[in-house]
């Protein structure tokens, strides 16, 4: 069943309809809708502040947050980009030039600030000292437990009271460091409270009251997306939102579906490498098995044919009825080559 988005500003709506699949990255279509819609819903409800994301790649999710942002609000993009020595787990390879081109292509404003840095260096570089200023803080950087916990502490200390934090890959079986880091953060007294789960991302609020607020806000903005309510997680209740086909509405009264398809962009490079290794291993195993079968067939022929010939010479009356069986065996051996 097709769901309908809240009314979105023009750049956001156009990006979702026709640009989303042109930008390489790993982002569920419905999650792009949820991020875009909740950013607008915050402003409508009087929540002001900047937005930030750790882990940019080519900007697929960052554009959902930064397009049509008011000129007095900033969008901060944080990534190591070409400094891949800081990408300790290989969880993505950002490309700054492609990212900047995508900002231009899809109309991001001059209020975007790019910060080339490891999130592990943000605190010592004064990022936290600047105070609480973010209404949305998206975490999609390093996927180790250590980095995830660090990024959650950074977000907690810089997000405003009515803001939210978005944690990527929290249930991704290939990146179990994320959920480990989340529970370490919560176990060490982290104040962020799980509120909503959208495809592949957990949304956390700054308090239990704010978690309830965002659960209500999501239900109002995306009534066709909610799949389950009151799901227990880490001592809290969250709502779960599903993947849906969407009809995207805009402020000009237009509407249209999200188009395009780029399936390879949804498979992380590490997973592709794993699949390639599995394929190579399977091919080697096949070749080994085929060679062993050929050798077995040759040994079988060598063992049986002399006996048959000897019996045919000495006991032709016995060999005659056996000949059709021998021919069938030869046919089977020939077909299995």
Specify whether the CB–CB gap between 120 and 145 falls below 8 A: no
The full length of the chain comes to 337
For the chain, the C-alpha Rg in angstroms (whole number) is 29
Residue partners of 166: CB distance under 8 A and separation at least 6: 35, 136, 137, 138, 139, 201, 202, 203, 204
What is the reported pLDDT for 290? 81
On the CB side of 31, how many CA atoms lie within 13 Å of its CA?
22
Give the pLDDT score at 291: 84
Give domain limits for the chain: 3-261, 275-335
What tens digit of pLDDT does each residue of 93-109 get?
678 999 999 999 999 99
**How far is Cα 103 from Cα 66, in angstroms, rounded to an integer?**
9
Mean of pLDDT values over 204-212:
98
83 token code pair: 């400094």
What confidence category does residue 74 fall into, taking pLDDT thresholds of 50, 70 and 90? very high
DSSP 120: G
Higher pLDDT residue, 188 or 314? 188
Position 300 scores a pLDDT of 78
CA distance 118 to 189: 24
Structure token digits, residue 161: 């009271």
Q: What is the pLDDT of residue 317?
A: 57
Looking at per-residue pLDDT, the higher value among 173 and 268 belongs to 173
Residue pair 176/146 in contact by the 8 Å Cβ criterion = no
Side-chain-side CA neighbours of 2 within 13 Å: the count stands at 9
Tokens of 247: 């009809």
Class of domain 3-261: alpha beta
Let me know: does 336 contact 297? Beta carbons within 8 Å: yes
What's residue 265's pLDDT?
A: 40
Q: How far is residue 43 from each of residues 70, 170, 239, measured CA to CA in Å?
A: 9, 27, 22
Cα–Cα distance list, 13 to 7, 86, 127, 177 (Å): 8, 35, 32, 34
Average pLDDT over residues 129-138: 97
Residue 271 CB neighbour total at 10 angstroms: 13
- What per-residue confidence (pLDDT) applies to 61? 97
Q: Strand locations in the chain, DSSP E?
A: 3-8, 50-54, 75-79, 112-116, 134-139, 159-168, 193-198, 201-205, 226-233, 236-241, 246-250, 255-257
Query: Could you tell me the two tokens for 246?
Result: 């969407």
pLDDT category at 86 given cuts 50, 70, 90 is low
How many percent of the chain have pLDDT more than 90?
Answer: 72
How far from the centroid of its chain's Cα atoms is residue 46's Cα? Answer: 31
CA distance 318 to 311: 8
**What are the Cα distances from residue 228, in Å, to 10, 96, 144?**
31, 38, 29
Mean pLDDT of the chain: 88
Q: Which of 179, 118, 119, 192 is nearest to 145 (CA)?
A: 179
């Amino acid at each position: 069943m097709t769901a309908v988005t809240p009314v979105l500003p023009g750049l956001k709506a156009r990006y979702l309809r026709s640009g989303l699949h042109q930008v390489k990255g790993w982002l569920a279509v419905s999650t792009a809708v949820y991020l875009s819609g909740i950013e607008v819903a915050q402003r409508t409800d009087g929540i002001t502040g900047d937005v930030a994301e750790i882990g940019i790649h080519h900007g697929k999710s960052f554009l959902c947050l930064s397009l049509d942002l008011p000129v007095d609000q900033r969008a901060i993009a944080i990534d190591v980009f070409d400094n891949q020595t800081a990408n300790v787990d290989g969880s993505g390879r950002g490309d700054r030039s492609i990212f900047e081109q995508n900002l231009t292509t899809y109309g991001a404003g001059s209020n975007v600030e790019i910060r080339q840095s490891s999130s592990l260096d943000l605190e010592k570089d004064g990022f936290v000292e600047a105070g609480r200023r973010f209404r949305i803080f998206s975490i999609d950087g390093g996927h180790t437990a250590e980095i995830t916990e660090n990024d959650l502490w950074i977000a907690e200390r810089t997000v405003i009271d009515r803001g939210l934090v978005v944690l990527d890959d929290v249930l991704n079986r290939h990146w179990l460091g994320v959920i480990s880091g989340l529970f370490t953060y919560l176990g060490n007294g982290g104040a962020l409270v799980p509120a909503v789960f959208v495809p592949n991302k957990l949304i956390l609020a700054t308090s239990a009251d704010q978690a309830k607020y965002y659960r209500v806000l999501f239900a109002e903005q995306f009534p066709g997306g909610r799949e389950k309510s009151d799901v227990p997680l880490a001592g809290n209740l969250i709502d779960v939102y599903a993947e849906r086909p969407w009809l995207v509405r805009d402020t000009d009264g237009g509407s249209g579906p999200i188009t395009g398809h780029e399936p390879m962009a949804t498979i992380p490079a590490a997973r592709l490498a794993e699949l390639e290794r599995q394929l190579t291993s399977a091919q080697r195993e096949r070749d080994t098995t085929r060679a062993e079968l050929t050798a077995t067939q040759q040994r079988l022929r060598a063992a049986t044919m002399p006996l048959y010939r000897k019996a045919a010479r000495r006991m032709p009356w016995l060999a005659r009825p056996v000949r059709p069986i021998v021919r069938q065996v030869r046919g089977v051996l020939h077909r299995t080559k």
